[in-house]
Amino acid sequence: MGHCLVLATRTQISVCKSPFASAGTAVSLFRAKMVQQRPLLPREVETWLPGCDPTIRQPGFDLPQQQWSLLNRFRTEQGHCGACRRKWRLTDTDLCPCGENQTMSHIVESCPLTKLNGSLSQLHSVDEDAVSWLTSYGS
């Protein structure tokens, strides 16, 4: 059976599809990519995740994996929302159940069905209300 390996670095994401792919292959390819790449400039780090130093553990790092993953989908605006699903050609529509275009920021900031009181900045700070919202949204 083949595997699909996703290799993520701070500068790019690569996908390796191979019937012989394994975790060892992924680690080797990841290390090779890291050696080939130049370090990010401070200006690039700032645009990578605004206001964040990628060498410091970000708020929410200690969350359970499901919540951490969902939090980072909202932080990067690349999650399972109508707009992304349409872009990935998984659906024909990008409409939210509320009737507006569904983006990751719409889910957090303006959707009457899922809105987090306090917007995306509260989600970035990962306070108690944000963790509770992530738990209820992810289930």
pLDDT of 15 above 70: no
Would you state the pLDDT for residue 51?
A: 60
- The continuous run of DSSP H or E covering 18 comes out as strand 13-18
Look at residue 53 and tell me if it is in a domain: no
Same domain, 31 and 74: no
Give the chain's domain count. Answer: 2
Would you state the pLDDT for residue 81?
A: 93
Q: How far apart are CA 102 and CA 110, in angstroms?
A: 10
Q: What is the pTM of this model?
A: 0.59
Q: What is the mean pLDDT of the chain?
A: 74
Same domain, 69 and 28: no
Q: How far is CA 26 from the centre of its chain?
A: 20
Q: How far apart are CA 17 and CA 20, in angstroms?
A: 9
The pLDDT tens digits of the residues spanning 28-65 come to: 555 555 545 555 554 444 444 556 666 778 888 889 99
pLDDT of 80 above 60: yes
| Domain residue limits at 110 | 65-138
Would you state the pLDDT for residue 6?
A: 47
Would you state the pLDDT for residue 28?
A: 53
Look at residue 60 and tell me if it is in a domain: no
Look at residue 73 and tell me if it is in a domain: yes
